[in-house]
Structure formats: structure tokens, C-alpha cells
Amino acid sequence: MIRNRFILALIFIISGILGCSRNKADVPILLLATDANFGTYAGEILRAEGFNAFKTDSLTGANITTAYLRQFDLVILAETKISLQSVRMFKQFVQRGGNLIAFRPDTALAVLFGITSAGGHMAGGYIGIDKTSLQGKGLVGEPLQFHGAADYYVLNGATSVAGLFNNKTSATAFPGVVINQYGKGRTAAFLYNLPKSIVYTRQGNPEFAGIEKDGIPGLRGMDLFADGWLDTSNNTINQADEQMTLLSHCIEEMVKNKKPLPRFWYFPDTLKCLVTLTNDGEFRSENDFEPQFRDVDSMSAGMSLYVLEVNKVSKAWVDKWTARGFEIAGHPDDIKEAGNPGWNRMDSALKARKTEIQTTYGLPMRTNVNHWFVWCGRDADGKQDFAVEAKIEELNGIELDMNYAHYDMKSSQGNYYMGTPGTSQGNFTGSGLVMKYADVKGNIINVYQHVNAVYDQQYNESHDPGGFYNCFKGLADRSLNNEVYSFISIKSHNDEYYFSKIPLMKMLTYANSHNIPVWPASRLLDFVKMKDEASFSGLKWEYNRLTFELKSSLKSSGGLTFMLPVRHGDLKISTIAVNSRKTQFITRKIKGSEYTLVTVAPGKIYEVSVEYH
């Protein structure tokens, strides 16, 4: 009897051990990262690209074994030094059929990626994507700028999908992104730290934090882009976003031996562009704002107003317009020390304005624009950090920041050092997407960055109302027609409405005619939070059928859209059922690949079944 019990127990233990490698994780992607080297920011990239079905863990975690890795369709490894034990683990994982993507991998892993170290590295440069590769299809051919070090390797069995360039015209002999087959598995490596580069591209040069660089009085986020930090000839490309799309293509090509992965679409419903409209109230009163608000409202648009003096705007007036969907928030003022803004004063200015808005109007303050766009660059201890202002906002409950604005008039760097004005202006941060800030140490800050590209003062000072309109139209047309997707922010000061009214009405007319919503910033915040919180789980691929749960617990105006590759190998989507009911879907070619798009109402749980035949 005892012997039989012992045998049964032994069988149970062995079955558990063997079953560990057969069981699949609830999500298909494992991100191995910490905040160091901006590793966890890779998760923000995955969310921006809609791959919300992932888990983050640390390489040093006790559960990180070959068997554990094999539960996932794909493992993504952030930049880190690794042990010999980890090297053996990754070799076993890939050799047995695992998929691995790494950012600036340790040289000890070079054999996995089919490369050999050539010694040395490049301190920032460009990558040129091979558009003939599966990973590069639908992407731009112009070399794209990156920040941070890229290590020099030579190919030793790998295939290069992007080469390293010293500048836009001078290619090197070294690869920048490679793919490889190793044993039964597949690998890909970005030979630079992609998440770090994305943060630096979007937020600017961290070494310029708290330093006047552009000669325009007052420290602003724009100072961080001085001295040619970004190649402005690439402004119309959104070069940070293009590199994130390259990662998406690598992910989708790599998991073709596993299962098709669902993603969330960038915009509400199946839109290709969205606009936010804001107004810095400055020293005006509600009587001044009323005509402008009526004009905007008549165009079925919404607007955010950042009030500087609450005694000039009544609660009754605020109630009327918030009921119409407009946003009223505060306009923190620290211009007295704009040349050297300190943590304590900026924190006090924000707290004071937030308290005024809450006390006077009974409203929370969730989005923010500072007077003069003043941007603190040093923490409470005086240490440089290009995201200090975002940290102050996070401490005060601000969730979306709009202080990065395109303004470079009368700069010591030269007019238009941030890029060509008008139709070809583009986004000076290299990105049209709304993503969170990270601090200089790589910690993610729970505040979204939304760049203000279409800025009225820039064009007013150059006496160019046509340029103001064309700046918007260029961004919108590229988003609608050229897949340079952008959430476009327009600033229309009431002080300058004498200048901006005609071009602004043209913008709103154009937006209406092209089905582009115009929202206040708070409404955009609600959508982005909802999209980032939504998740896919329980993905199963059996008998050419993909099933999964889509969970969304936050409400938002505008539908939540998920997308799937139309084809998986030789198979093609035939039907999609949501909660056991067949649903309509559209097919769209996006960045060189075909996807089906399905829109659902946010704030619910859905069971989705997709048949491929």
C-alpha cells in the first residue's frame, strides 16, 4: 500500500515537471527587464504598438528557467549583462524552438544572433532599413536616427535587416538589426538599445537638462533639442515610431511558427488621425473666451482651456462649457524664475493652480500646460534630470503633459532649428504617438507626453497664417495618407485669436471633411489610458482557430479596435466571432501587412474566436 502511494506520488511529481514545459503562459510575450538601461520602457513600446499581451519579469528572478521561458511564444531581453548560466539557458531555449529578441545584447550571446563582435561601438548614428526584407516591408528607406551606443558586429550566419550609418549618406559595414535561425528557434537583435533611443528621441538630450541652450528666455523642453539633437530633415517621418514599427514587424514575423497575435489599433474606432485643441487662457476673461468657444463648438469640436486667473472665469460659465464636453484646467505660472526653475517653486505653482481649479470649479486637473512652457530640469537635490517636470506633475495627479511645443523663433540656434515650418514641419520629437515619460535613470513616469506641434505663436510671430494652417494639414495628410500616424495638437491662444481664427476655422473644416475628431486633451487622455489598460489573455491556437479574452475595464468615448494579421502561413481569416456572435470586420493594409480590424465598446470583457482557413 505504501509502495503504491509512493509510485503514485512519484508519477504526479514527474508529470508536473514534464508538464511545466507543455503548459503555456496566459500571455504570449515575456519581457525580461528592469528599469536599468530603460529596460521596462520596452513595455511602453509594446503598449504603444498594441501588443498588450505580455508579462514583465527580471532575468534574476528565481523562476527564470528554460522550462519557464518555453511557456512563451516570444521572449524579449532588455540590455543587460548576463551570467554564463543565463547564456546556457538562452541557448537551450532557442535551440529547442524558442523565439528571442534582444536590445543591445551581451556579446556572450553573439552566437545566438549569428554575429561576431568586431570590437568598438558607434555613439549614436542612423539605421537604414532593408525594405526588401519581411521585417522592413512598408517602412521608409531613409536612414533613421538613433541615440545611444550601437555595438560593431560582423555577420556570422545572421541576416541584416537594417545597417548602421554614420550619417544619412555614409553607411558602415556593420549591421544595426539582425535576424537569425539557431537550432529550432529564431532570434532578432537590435544592436543598439531601442527603448533608450526612443526615450532620448522623444524627450531630448538629458545632458541639456536645466541648461539654457536655444537663447529664448526661459527653460523649456525645447532647449533639450538644441545643437542638432535630432535630424530635422526626418521630422515628417516620425523616425522614433518607424523604429517601433520595425520591432512590431520583427515580433510578427518571429511568431509565425507559433500563432497570430492580436494588437490594439492606435486610434479610436478605425480612424487614422486624431486632433486635440488647447487654449492657454493667459490674462483673458470668460467674455473673451466665449466667442472662441462658440466658434469651436459650431464646428463640432472640443477644446481645453488652461486658466491663469480664476477670478476672471466664473463657475457658471465653466459648468456651461464642461457640459458641452470642453475641458477647463489650470495654467501653472513660474515665469518669475523661468531662467532657472526649481523643484519647490514649480511644485508650489502646480499645487496652487490645481487647488484653485478644484476649489473654484469643483474640477480635477488631469492635463497640464505651464505658462511659457517652463520646464524644470533639476530635482530637489539639484541633480539633472530631463523628466523632473513630469515627476512633479505625477506627484500632483497630472496624467498628461503638453509642454513640449514647436517654438524656435529668434533662437540663438537660428530660426527653425527645430525644423522647416509649414507643410513640411512634422513632429520635432520624432514621434506622433502619446507615450509616457521616463526619467534619466530609466524609471517610467505615470504621465503621458503629447507634443504640441501646431503652435499659433510660432506662426503669428512670423506673420504666416497660411503656414499655421499648412502645418496642421501636412501632419493630417501624412497621417491619413502616408501612414505617418499622429495625434495632432493645435494651440490657439485667446490672446492671439485675432491671428489664428481664420486658419483655425479652416483646420476644423478640413478635420470635419476628413472625419478627424477634434477633442480636448482630457478626452484623449481617457482614450489612451483605456487602450493601454485593455488586455488580451488566454490565447489559444488549435485546429486553425485562435481564441482569446479581451478585457477592458475603463470607459472612453470612441471604440476600442483590435487587429489581427489577415494571413497566418497559408491560412487566411474567414470568420471572427465576439461573444459567440459572428462580427463584421474590415481589412486594411498597414505598414506593408494586411490586417483585419474589429471595433468593440470599451469597458467590457469579450471572448473572441478567429477562424483561419
115 part of a folded domain: yes
C-alpha radius of gyration, the chain, whole number: 25
pLDDT of residue 7: 42
Kindly provide the residue ranges of all beta strands, DSSP E only, lying in 24-91, ordered along the sequence.
Answer: 29-32, 54-57, 74-77
Question: Checking DSSP bridges between strand 274-282 and strand 487-491, what pairing results, if any?
Answer: parallel
> pLDDT per residue over 514-550, tens digit each?
999 999 999 999 999 999 999 999 999 999 999 999 9
Beta-bridge partner residues of 490:
277, 454
132 part of a folded domain: yes
Beta-bridge partner residues of 479:
none
CATH of the domain at 74: 3.40.50.880
314 plus 409 within the same structural domain: yes
Give the dihedral sign, CA 217/221/225/227. Answer: positive
| Cα–Cα distance, 488 to 453 (Å, whole number) | 7
Instruction: Look at the pTM and tell me if it is higher than 0.75.
Output: yes
106 plus 143 within the same structural domain: yes
| Cα–Cα distance, 296 to 89 (Å, whole number) | 59
226 part of a folded domain: no
60 plus 139 within the same structural domain: yes
| Cα–Cα distance, 458 to 163 (Å, whole number) | 37
502 plus 365 within the same structural domain: yes
471 plus 328 within the same structural domain: yes
Show which of 487, 508, 529 is a domain's final residue: 529
Q: What pLDDT band is residue 23 in, cutting at 50, 70 and 90?
A: low
Show which of 513, 529, 545 is a domain's final residue: 529
Query: How many domains does the chain fold into?
Result: 3
168 plus 63 within the same structural domain: yes
CB 98 within 8 A of CB 75: yes
Quick one: three-class SS letters along 143-190?
CEEEEEEEEEEEECCCEEEEEEECCCCCEEEEEEEEEEEECCEEEEEE
| Cα–Cα distance, 308 to 285 (Å, whole number) | 10
CATH of the domain at 431: 3.20.20.370
- What average pLDDT does this structure show over 302-321? 98
289 part of a folded domain: yes
519 plus 579 within the same structural domain: no
- Give the C-alpha distances (Å, rounded to integers) separating 43 from 35, 298, 572: 11, 40, 29
499 part of a folded domain: yes
183 plus 306 within the same structural domain: no
| Cα–Cα distance, 303 to 583 (Å, whole number) | 35
Q: What pLDDT band is residue 4 in, cutting at 50, 70 and 90?
A: very low
Residue type, 582: K
5 part of a folded domain: no
367 plus 433 within the same structural domain: yes
372 plus 323 within the same structural domain: yes
597 plus 465 within the same structural domain: no
Question: φ and ψ at 545, to 5 degrees?
Answer: -125, 130
| Cα–Cα distance, 313 to 283 (Å, whole number) | 10
- CB under 8 Å to 62, separation ≥6 — which residues? none
∠ CA 269-271-275 to the nearest 5 degrees?
Answer: 115
- Domain that residue 583 falls in: 534-612
| Cα–Cα distance, 308 to 249 (Å, whole number) | 46
399 plus 348 within the same structural domain: yes
- CB under 8 Å to 175, separation ≥6 — which residues? 115, 153, 155, 158, 160, 162, 163, 164, 191
Percentage of the chain lying above the pLDDT 90 cut: 95
* Candidate from 22-36, 115-129, 229-243 with smallest mean pLDDT: 22-36
Show which of 529, 553, 578 is a domain's final residue: 529
pLDDT of residue 16: 40
Residue type, 429: T
